Chain A
Amino acid sequence: MQHNDDGKRALQALSPGDALLTSSMAFTWKEIEEYLEAVEDPQTLYWERQVVPPMALATRAIRELLSQLSLPPGSVHIAQDVEFVAPCRFGTALTLEGRLFQNAVRGPMHFLGITFDVHDPQGTVILRGKSTVILPVSAGTR
């Protein structure tokens, strides 16, 4: 597995179909509070049922996956698909699996695409996602 000086996976070494590292994650009350304050979402249902806001889950999954890759600072998230399969309760230990579906330079743009699943401890998928990011070509694979 090829890594750059920053310890992250080099984009040049990645091909569509490659798996990204599996990682574990869970949410604390404080993290959920910070997220809901940041997006200014007044929905009380999350607290009443102790359910993680699904976009908080998606956001964390994307961050975990992208943080494994050597992305230049000018990278821009251009598209996002999410499917909230089932609610996730606070504190649930989750497993994240990601896979590259696109890593291509087209003209002045470098497109990077990732799909991911988040599983609960029983292995049931609770969230699916698909992210597309564009990067400055000079810092990418060309």
Chain B
Amino acid sequence: MIPGELPQLQKRVTQEQVERYAQASGDFNPLHTDPEYAAATTSYGRNIAHGMLVMAFLSEMMAAAFLDAWLSGGKLQARFRAPVYPGDTVTTFGAIKSQREAGETVHLEYIVGCRNQDGGEVVTGEATVDVPFSAVER
């Protein structure tokens, strides 16, 4: 069965998580990790989360829904529309846009993204995945 709406993930982003992500990714841009820099020199006024950290939530949602098909052929296009601040709670969403048969698979396109606790879209994009018929006919 093809999911029309993907199960949402909810994540509360903390400054501690942003710093862990900086360590894991090697991205120590002070915009993310230095409160004084962010306050003094950016329009955000404080640290923001890495876009790739928030994008990882979308990939987690897709992997949870499609597993192998996501790891072998998944595509994700993301636009970082608005900052995610430490303390924000981000909720992912995914809704089917189109589906079509493609040989032994079904090609699925989803509108995906993340919203903050105020309902504002912070990341928007599309995800595509080719799922074997055998997996969707169950």
Contact = CB atoms under 8 A, between A and B. Distances in A.
Contact of B24 (A35, A58, A62, A80): A35
Interface in A81-135: 81-87
A76 B29 CA distance: 9
B77 to A, nearest CB: 5
A70 interface: no
B15 interface: no
A31 B24 contact: yes
Contacts of B30: 73
A34 interface: yes
Q: Chain A interface mostly helix, strand, loop or mixed?
A: mixed
For the complex of A and B, the 7 pairs showing the least CB-CB separation, nearest first, are A38-B24, A38-B20, A39-B56, A38-B21, A34-B24, A77-B51, A35-B24
Interface of B: 11, 17, 20-21, 23-27, 29-31, 37, 41-42, 50-53, 55-57, 59-60, 63-64, 67, 70-80
A31 B24 CA distance: 7
Nearest to B37: A73
Interface residues of A, number: 36
Interface of A: 31, 34-35, 37-41, 43, 45, 51, 53-56, 58-60, 62-63, 67, 73-87
Contact of B79 (A54, A58, A78): A78
Contacts of A34: 20, 23-24
Contact of B78 (A45, A79, A85): A79
A86 B55 contact: no
Given A38-B25, A63-B27, A51 B51 contact: no
29 contacts: A35-B24, A35-B25, A37-B24, A38-B20, A39-B53, A43-B60, A53-B59, A55-B56, A59-B27, A60-B25, A62-B52, A63-B26, A73-B29, A73-B30, A76-B31, A77-B80, A78-B79, A78-B80, A79-B78, A79-B79, A80-B52, A80-B76, A80-B77, A80-B80, A82-B75, A84-B71, A84-B72, A86-B72, A87-B71
